[in-house]
Amino acid sequence: MDLKEFHRRSIEDREAFWAEQATLIDWHAPFTKVLDDSRLPFTRWFVDGQTNLCHNAIDRHLAAQSDKPALIFVSTETGDERTYTFGQLHREVQRMAAIMQALGVRRGERVLIYLPMIPEALFAMYACARIGAIHTVVFGGFASHSLATRIDDAAPVLIVSADGGSRGGKVVPYKPLLDEAIGLSSHKPAHVLMVDRKLTPFSRVADRDQDYAALREQHLEAQVPVTWLESNDISYILYTSGTTGKPKGVQRDVGGHAVALAASMKHIFCGQAGETYFSSSDIGWVVGHSYIVYGPLIAGMATIVYEGTPLRPDAGILWKLVEQHKVSVMFSAPTAIRVLKKQDPSYLTKYDTSGLRTLFLAGEPLDEPTAKWIAEGIGRPIIDNYWQTETGWPILSVAHGVEKTPTRFGSPGMPMYGYDVRLLHEQTGEEVGNNEKGVVAIVPPLPPGCLQTIWQDDKRFVDTYFSSIPGRQVYSTFDWGIRDDDGYYFILGRTDDVINVAGHRLGTREIEESLSSHSAVAECAVVGVADQLKGQVAMAFVVLKDPALVEAQQGRLKLEGDLMATVDRQLGAVARPSRVHFVTVLPKTRSGKVLRRSIQALCEGRDPGDLTTIEDPMALEQVRGAIAPA
Ligand code: ATP
Ligand code: MG
């Protein structure tokens, strides 16, 4: 079928379209109405329908695939490898569900999950889904302050955690951070369920802290039936990355979520039951929720749960896993690929990845050189896809399950079915033409799977997302985009990442793209810095593939000049960064996104702002050092 026609139908004949997609999952009771859009921008999908995410991910496959792998756990940190079949997973999840019930967790209550990438984290998520509790997963790399604000916001009755995780071969204790967080928060959970991996000793709080292994023994034979939920009940809360400020508690439903994931697995990811899906993300992020935990299993695929980095034991590990587990669909992020770019490229061809149909990449702009580098390196097709925590599944991509539309380097593709995407003028709200820059916006109703609201803050939901474009109530992504004459979109960066140099409006992304085209560059960040004369000037921070190049002053000056000349040639002198600074690491969020707002603040001598989600505070010190007058 023709993708454009498929898309047109999803917008013009919305209810019929989604009623069809809804047949991809099991319903315990049918819905009476496909779409209730009587209270826009709030949307309710599949009204009165009863279903359950855990049933659709696990129970539904028991008849045909009970003995087939469902969850493949690999830790290159501890050396553990465990595979659970659908049947075994079904039993583990019921045990976990029974433990939660015994600890007093009821339908609609929150369970906060603060765990590394271990199977128990998924058991806990599925168990919540099974009994109708609302999970809120907090990325295991967050420290006590970030954790405390999320405990206060979500008010969980139970927290599931572990003694520790491990990263790059070093044990990271979780429990002291958790105890500190509970000390800081005003809400206190009734219980903490501890998975003891025996990685690091920890202290227990009597009565409050419970031992998972001991309780599991008591509930080995547990049979916990699925709680049927109304489609619009809440399945989970997940906080956004916080790249642009205070994280928002994205709230998602049950039925729309299940249908959206099932449909995306079929049309976009083209995963088949019985195959293996590997996403190198983390359960703490939306990619982990959609495409580690729920999507693959809903499609009857096995999912790989990987605890480890892309570099250990060596830079071939991701491809080794692809070969070993016959991965057919893989999902990673540009940031992971840029990490590999600094390594020996022979790792890309060391393993047999011929079974891999497609590598999907998302999370940050995928610049053309990086896309080409990886596509040629592994010799497999790459598909960029653009979306947000808020939407839960791709807004822009190609849907090879519908039509084999060619991809274009640098473009995440076209609007996916269900999304009425428009490019709007920031000030007038009018639609811009082809090849003109506009804010990427979506006309409501948002399709199934998108956020229902911000947890306990309907006003913030409306004010944040639906009030920024003058004159019309549309959802703003806060990203700039442009569409070419063939309908391919290009993301030009975030709306707050635009700089104004002597009256010229430039996306920092375009300058970054230009710098990245220089063969010495591994990755870079460009920010606009206030300038008395020009309003703003661009300032660049560059990480090199080979840092030795700039060890000597002479090398540094030469390369800075070369990079400026590259921008001059490609974009013109207005876009030329006033300085190019060399650093070995960029300040990023824990999810791998560059914190441009913090770099900019430092450059302008301001406070770098909310840093709760920063990966490595030392990266900011490097920026500080780089800009300090010599
Ligand atoms: P916050 O909203 O709290 O500032 P965040 O926007 O970083 O955090 P996410 O929802 O994880 O949180 O990220 C979504 C954003 O990531 C998008 O709005 C876009 O800016 C960027 N993004 C994701 N995928 C792509 C892609 N394929 N190409 C370009 N940008 C992308
Ligand atoms: Mg965002």
Is residue 477 lining ligand 1, measured as CB closer than 6 Å?
yes
Amino acid in position 46:
F
**Residue showing tokens 């490019």:** 423
* pLDDT score of 216 more than 80: yes
Is residue 386 lining ligand 1, measured as CB closer than 6 Å?
yes
Ligand nearest to the CA of 594: 1
Cα atoms in the Cβ-side hemisphere of radius 13 Å centred on 44 = 14
Is residue 516 lining ligand 1, measured as CB closer than 6 Å?
no
Tens digit of pLDDT for each residue in 103-116?
999 999 999 999 99
Cα atoms in the Cβ-side hemisphere of radius 13 Å centred on 437 = 16
Ligand nearest to the CA of 361: 1
Ligand nearest to the CA of 383: 1
* pLDDT score of 423 more than 80: yes
SS3 state of residue 129: helix
| Best residue among 366, 382, 385, 389 to mutate for probing ligand 1, ranked by most atoms within 8 Å of CB | 389
- DSSP for 521-579, please give it: EEEEEEEEEEETTTEEEEEEEEEES-GGGGSSHHHHHHHHHHHHHHHHHHH-GGG--SE
- Nearest to residue 233, comparing CAs of 121, 106, 120? 106
Q: What is the percent of the chain with per-residue pLDDT over 70, rounded to a whole number?
A: 100
* Cis peptide preceding 69, ω within 30 of 0: no
Q: Is the dihedral of CA 326, 309, 247, 244 positive or negative?
A: negative
Q: Is the dihedral of CA 560, 561, 567, 570 positive or negative?
A: negative
- DSSP for 53-75, please give it: HHHHHTGGGHHHHTTSEEEEEEE
Which are the contacts of 264, defined by CB distance < 8 A and separation ≥ 6? 290, 295, 393, 394, 416, 449
For residue 201 the two structure tokens come to 């000793």
Is residue 240 lining ligand 1, measured as CB closer than 6 Å?
yes
Measured from the Cα of 250, ligand 1's closest atom is 10
* pLDDT score of 271 more than 80: yes
Distance, CA 583 to ligand 1 centroid (Å)?
24
Distance, CA 377 to ligand 2 centroid (Å)?
31
Measured from the Cα of 494, ligand 1's closest atom is 20
Structural contact between residues 104 and 157, judged by C-beta atoms closer than 8 angstroms:
yes
Distance, CA 364 to ligand 1 centroid (Å)?
6
Distance, CA 403 to ligand 1 centroid (Å)?
26
For ligand 1, atom 12: residue with the closest CA: 241
Distance, CA 363 to ligand 1 centroid (Å)?
6
Report the range of poorest mean pLDDT among 126-135, 181-190, 210-219, 246-255. Answer: 246-255
Going by pLDDT thresholds of 50, 70 and 90, the confidence category of residue 630 is: low
Q: Is the dihedral of CA 227, 55, 72, 263 positive or negative?
A: negative
Tens digit of pLDDT for each residue in 339-376?
899 899 999 999 999 999 999 999 988 988 899 999 99
Is residue 288 lining ligand 1, measured as CB closer than 6 Å?
no
Which pLDDT does position 183 carry in this prediction?
97
**pTM confidence score:** 0.92
Which pLDDT does position 610 carry in this prediction?
75
Ligand nearest to the CA of 240: 1
DSSP 8-state class, residue 113: E
Measured from the Cα of 246, ligand 1's closest atom is 3
Quote the CA–CA distance of 155 and 272 in Å, as a whole number.
Answer: 38
Report the range of poorest mean pLDDT among 73-87, 431-445, 492-506. Answer: 492-506
In sequence order, the β-bridge partners of residue 171 are 166
* pLDDT score of 317 more than 80: yes
For ligand 1, atom 26: residue with the closest CA: 386
Is residue 363 lining ligand 1, measured as CB closer than 6 Å?
yes
Give CA 46 to chain center in angstroms. 26
Other C-beta atoms closer than 10 Å to the C-beta of 143 total: 11
Is residue 476 lining ligand 1, measured as CB closer than 6 Å?
no
Which pLDDT does position 622 carry in this prediction?
93
Is residue 146 lining ligand 1, measured as CB closer than 6 Å?
no
**Average pLDDT of the chain, as a whole number:** 95
Quote the CA–CA distance of 518 and 550 in Å, as a whole number.
Answer: 15
For ligand 1, atom 28: residue with the closest CA: 365
Tens digit of pLDDT for each residue in 529-544?
998 888 889 999 999 9
SS3 state of residue 214: helix
Expressed in angstroms, the distance from the first to the final Cα of the chain is: 62
Q: Is the dihedral of CA 452, 455, 456, 459 positive or negative?
A: negative
Distance, CA 103 to ligand 2 centroid (Å)?
35
Is residue 249 lining ligand 1, measured as CB closer than 6 Å?
no
- DSSP for 27-43, please give it: -SB--SEEEEEEETTEE
Is residue 389 lining ligand 1, measured as CB closer than 6 Å?
yes
SS3 state of residue 235: strand
608 or 123, greater pLDDT: 123
Is residue 479 lining ligand 1, measured as CB closer than 6 Å?
yes
Distance, CA 131 to ligand 1 centroid (Å)?
31
SS3 state of residue 189: coil
Ligand nearest to the CA of 362: 1
Is residue 593 lining ligand 1, measured as CB closer than 6 Å?
yes
* pLDDT score of 13 more than 90: yes
* pLDDT score of 496 more than 90: no
Mean pLDDT of 216-227: 98
For ligand 1, atom 24: residue with the closest CA: 363
| Best residue among 246, 395, 491 to mutate for probing ligand 1, ranked by most atoms within 8 Å of CB | 491
For ligand 1, atom 14: residue with the closest CA: 388
* pLDDT score of 563 more than 90: yes
* pLDDT score of 611 more than 80: no
Between strands 498-501 and 504-507, the pairing is antiparallel
Measured from the Cα of 386, ligand 1's closest atom is 27
Tens digit of pLDDT for each residue in 452-485?
999 999 999 999 999 999 888 999 999 999 999 9
Cα dist from 489 to 260, 417, 623, whole Å: 22, 15, 32
